[in-house]
């Protein structure tokens, strides 16, 4: 029997970082939650830290988003538990910071499977539940690396660019329906994405992590702003002055942006 709550949300990559902050903010706004991550202990920790509310439900799913069958089973159970789905946050992802020439193609494929196909397949299997909501939202998290040719990010940037293209087309297909699609360009945040990702060497990883720490946008504030704009049905959601500048320059002066990145010595420290 389904749960007859007014608001139900699904968040992938919810065990840590921005996904965890999004889940916490949605819970505070009285959403029942279906939380998806390969880190099940992280999901349990998140659940244990949420305030008790008998009017809300929280469902935890350990899922490898590179595994189509696991995604399918997870989504089928979510649809059995929730009458409808009001918000789907496709947030899960992994990172690689390695020059293309040095990449192992197996790592490239794994990242695309998780970041891109995980988003596409999750959306596909949950679409019927989203259609049952009177005011549904699909929010796909991309990255500024989808907007600029940053060295060492051929894999990660490609996956986020693919999600962006998928989101654009999906938005037009669903334009006259009850479902609004958003693409989110989040600010630099101090999460575990780089720490757990693949990098050329430990020094390069530390350099990228140091950049994120110096420029980190508060997770809770980012989550609040993102959810506000998603609820409003905004399409392109850009958070933070730095991301706004990158987004603007990448669209108005793409060649100049690529030139500046390619000639700046410090940009190569990430690769």
Sign of CA dihedral 203, 208, 213, 215: positive
At 149, is the pLDDT very low, low, confident or very high (cuts 50, 70, 90)? confident
Q: Are 233 and 137 in contact (CB under 8 A)?
A: yes
Tens digit of each residue's pLDDT (9 = 90 or more) over 127-145: 999 999 999 999 999 999 9
246 alpha carbon, distance to own chain's centre: 19
Place of tokens 């950049």: 211
- Please tell me the pTM assigned to this model: 0.90
Average pLDDT in the 115-135 region? 97
* Residue 36 CB partners (closer than 8 Å, separation 6+): 10, 11, 12, 13, 14, 61, 63, 65, 74, 92, 122
3-state class (DSSP) for residue 119: helix
Q: How distant, in Å, are the alpha carbons of 67, 81, 182, 215, 230 from that of 224?
A: 31, 26, 15, 18, 10
Any bridge partners for residue 238, and if so which? 185
Residue 52 pLDDT greater than 90, yes or no: no
Q: What is the CA radius of gyration of the chain?
A: 18
Q: Where are the domains of the chain?
A: 8-270
Tens digit of each residue's pLDDT (9 = 90 or more) over 80-92: 999 999 999 999 9
Please work out, in degrees rounded to the nearest 5, the angle formed at the alpha carbon of residue 239 by the alpha carbons of 85 and 63: 40
Residue 271 pLDDT greater than 70, yes or no: no
Cα–Cα distance, 98 to 200 (Å, whole number): 5
Residue 209 pLDDT greater than 70, yes or no: no
What is the reported pLDDT for 189?
77
Residue 72 structure tokens: 């399918």
Cα–Cα distance, 36 to 14 (Å, whole number): 6
Of the CATH numbers 3.50.50.60, 3.40.50.720, 3.20.20.70, 3.30.70.1890, which one belongs to the domain with range 8-270? Answer: 3.40.50.720
Report the range of poorest mean pLDDT among 28-32, 82-86, 114-118, 257-261.
Answer: 257-261
Residue 262 pLDDT greater than 50, yes or no: yes
Residue 202 pLDDT greater than 60, yes or no: yes
Average pLDDT in the 119-123 region? 98
What is the reported pLDDT for 150?
87
Residue 22 pLDDT greater than 60, yes or no: yes
Cα–Cα distance, 27 to 61 (Å, whole number): 17
At residue 189, what are phi and psi to the nearest 5 degrees?
Answer: -135, 145
* Residue 18 CB partners (closer than 8 Å, separation 6+): 91, 141, 186, 189, 191, 219, 222, 223
Residue 268 pLDDT greater than 60, yes or no: no
What is the reported pLDDT for 265?
54
Longest dimension (CA), the chain: 59
3-state class (DSSP) for residue 99: coil
Q: Are 199 and 97 in contact (CB under 8 A)?
A: yes
């Amino acid at each position: 029997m389904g749960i007859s709550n007014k608001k139900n949300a699904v968040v992938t990559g919810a065990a840590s970082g921005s996904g965890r902050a999004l889940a916490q903010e949605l819970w505070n706004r009285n959403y029942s939650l279906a939380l998806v991550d390969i880190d099940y202990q992280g999901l349990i920790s998140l659940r244990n830290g949420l305030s008790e509310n008998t009017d809300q439900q929280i469902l935890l799913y350990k899922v490898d988003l590179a595994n189509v069958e696991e995604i399918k089973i997870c989504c089928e159970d979510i649809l059995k538990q929730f009458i409808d789905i009001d918000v789907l946050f496709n947030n899960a992802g992994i990172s690689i910071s390695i020059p293309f020439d040095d990449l192992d193609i197996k790592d490239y494929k794994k990242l695309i499977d998780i970041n891109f196909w995980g988003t596409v397949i999750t959306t596909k299997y949950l679409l019927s539940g989203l259609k049952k909501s009177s005011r549904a939202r699909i929010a796909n998290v991309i990255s500024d690396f989808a907007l600029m040719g940053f060295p060492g990010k051929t894999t990660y940037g490609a996956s986020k660019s693919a999600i962006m293209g998928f989101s654009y087309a999906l938005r037009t297909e669903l334009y006259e329906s009850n479902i609004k699609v958003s693409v989110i360009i989040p600010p630099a945040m101090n999460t575990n994405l780089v720490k757990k990702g693949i990098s050329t060497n430990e020094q390069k990883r530390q350099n990228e992590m140091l950049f994120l720490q110096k420029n980190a946008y508060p997770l809770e504030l980012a989550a609040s702003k993102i959810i506000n704009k998603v609820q409003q049905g905004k399409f392109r959601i850009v958070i933070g002055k730095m991301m706004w500048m990158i987004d603007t320059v990448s669209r108005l002066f793409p060649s100049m942006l690529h030139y500046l990145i390619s000639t700046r010595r410090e940009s190569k420290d990430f690769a």
